[in-house]
Amino acid sequence: QSALTQPASVSGSPGQSITISCTGTSSDVGGYNYVSWYQQHPGKAPKLMIYDVSNRPSGVSNRFSGSKSGNTASLTISGLQAEDEADYYCSSYTSSSTLEVFGTGTKVTVL
C-alpha cells in the first residue's frame, strides 16, 4: 500500500487561503468517506483537524475545511495565520490489508 500523495510544501501570506491536495485511489480516498487531516507542529503529536472528509472536531477553527472529488481530497485553510505553520497529513481508510494509510505530508509555511 503506497502512501497518499501530497505536495511537499505549500506557502501563503497571512490572511490568504491555501489548499493542500491528497491523492489516492479508488481503494482508499475515492472509495470511502473516511478521510482525515492532521496538523503537526515540530516535536508535538498530530492533532485531528478534519474527519470524514469535511467534519471539524469541536474546538477546531472554522478556517479549516475539507472536501473530496474522486480520488483526491483537499484541505483548505482560509485566513492563514502564523500559528497555522506546521506539517499537515491526510489519511484514509483503505480496503487493502493495511486498513489505514497516511499521506506523504505537506509543510505549510506562512510567509
Partner 1 sequence: QVQLVQSGAEVKKPGASVKVSCKASGYTFTSYDINWVRQATGQGLEWMGWMNPNSGNTGYAQKFQGRVTMTRNTSISTAYMELSSLRSEDTAVYYCARWNYKADYWGQGTLVTVSS
Q: Are 77 and 64 in contact (CB under 8 A)?
A: yes
How many CB atoms are closer than 10 A to CB 83? 10
Q: Give 25 or 36: the residue with its C-beta nearer to partner 1.
A: 36
Check binding of 104 to partner 1 (CB under 8 A): yes
Q: Are 1 and 101 in contact (CB under 8 A)?
A: yes
Check binding of 99 to partner 1 (CB under 8 A): yes
- Using DSSP bridges, classify how beta strands 35-40 and 47-50 pair: parallel, antiparallel or unpaired: antiparallel
Q: By CB under 8 A, name the one of 69, 79, 100, 111 that touches partner 1.
A: 100
Check binding of 24 to partner 1 (CB under 8 A): no
Which grid coordinates are listed for 3? Answer: 502512501
Check binding of 9 to partner 1 (CB under 8 A): no
Q: Are 104 and 4 in contact (CB under 8 A)?
A: yes
Q: By CB under 8 A, name the one of 48, 54, 61, 85 that touches partner 1.
A: 48
Of 72, 94, 73, the C-alpha closest to 28 is: 94
Least Å distance between CB 58 and partner 1? 10
Chain residues in the site for partner 1 (CB under 8 A):
1, 3, 34, 36, 38, 40, 45-48, 51-52, 57, 89, 91, 93, 97-105
